Amino acid sequence: MKNQKIIIALDGNSSCGKSTYAKRIATEIGYAYIDTGAMYRSVTLAAMEKGLFDETEAPPIEQIEEVLKTVELNLRFNPHKQRTEIFLNGRMVEDLIRRMEVADHVSYIAAISSVRRKMVEYQRKLGEEKGVVMDGRDIGTVVFPKAELKIFLTASPEVRAIRRYKELIEKGMLVELEEVRLNLEKRDHIDSSREDSPLKQADDSIVLDNSEMTVEEQMVWFREKFDRLRTEE
């Protein structure tokens, strides 16, 4: 695989640090970073703005599918903020989709087969030329089952809750740690038990428990795995 671009699939539960890690990897090796979670969050936001979650946590799938027909997503790199931002029907929603109210509903949206099919089709198109780092729940199992490097990221529930809580507080959102913990517990259950593309470790993925690791320590681990792969014939 010398000098050939590959696909790096990074899967794991919510708040394991997947996005931070994937962005760092992509920056270091000059690959494109694709945040698949942002896609599902954007569809969730579209459904919320239509009022579908006003009276229920599980609106009829037919209503979600009607909203899905109107959804157009684009990813653009913002050089000023040094980040990739997602646009929903031409509107930048990168910050809106990170709110707790969106997180409360995204696992329901992500479990709908028609939503997953549309998102997976889009994700595969983005990875056609390879040279991408893509994080999500089913990248190594469904989206790119033949990805050359698959990483399954994990961390303890306690560590994940604290990380997510600190992230939201830093963004100025008023949340309680227990609220965050319960949200993660709920999302874990939905993500791992849904019928369509449940979260699970690919047989050929490498597990990395980063509960007690800094990002730099994780990068040392990644460089060793990436360099070994690149030197294989």
pLDDT digits (tens, 9 = 90+) for 93-137: 999 999 989 989 998 999 899 999 999 999 999 888 899 999 988
pLDDT at 65: 97
Does some domain include residue 204?
A: yes
CB atoms within 10 A of CB 85: 16
Does some domain include residue 60?
A: yes
Q: What's the average model confidence in pLDDT over 206-226?
A: 96
Q: What's the average model confidence in pLDDT over 23-50?
A: 93
User: pLDDT at residue 3 above 80?
Assistant: no
Does some domain include residue 156?
A: yes
pLDDT at 208: 97
**Total of domains in the chain:** 1
Q: Does 207 or 126 have the greater pLDDT score?
A: 207
Does some domain include residue 180?
A: yes
Q: Does 4 or 62 have the greater pLDDT score?
A: 62
Does some domain include residue 2?
A: no
For a pLDDT cut of 70, what percent of the chain falls above it? 98
Domain harbouring 122, CATH code = 3.40.50.300
pTM of the predicted structure, to 2 decimals: 0.81
CA 184 to chain centre: 14
pLDDT tens sequence across 148-203: 999 999 999 999 999 999 988 988 888 899 999 998 998 888 888 888 888 889 99
Q: What's the average model confidence in pLDDT over 72-101?
A: 90
- Kind plus residue range of the DSSP H or E element containing 188: helix 177-193
Give the domain range for residue 128: 7-230
- Could you tell me which residues come within 8 angstroms of residue 43 by beta carbon, excluding any fewer than 6 positions away? 64, 67, 68, 71, 109, 115, 119
Does some domain include residue 121?
A: yes
pLDDT at 2: 60
Q: What's the average model confidence in pLDDT over 200-217?
A: 95
pLDDT at 181: 93
Rounded to 10 deg, the angle between the 61-69 and 113-126 helix axes is 30
Cα distance between residue 33 and residue 84, in whole Å:
8
pLDDT at 113: 93
pLDDT at 80: 87
Q: How many CA atoms does the CB half-sphere of 175 hold within 13 Å? A: 26
Does some domain include residue 90?
A: yes
Does some domain include residue 13?
A: yes
pLDDT at 216: 96
Task: Quote the mean pLDDT of the chain.
Answer: 91
User: pLDDT at residue 1 above 80?
Assistant: no
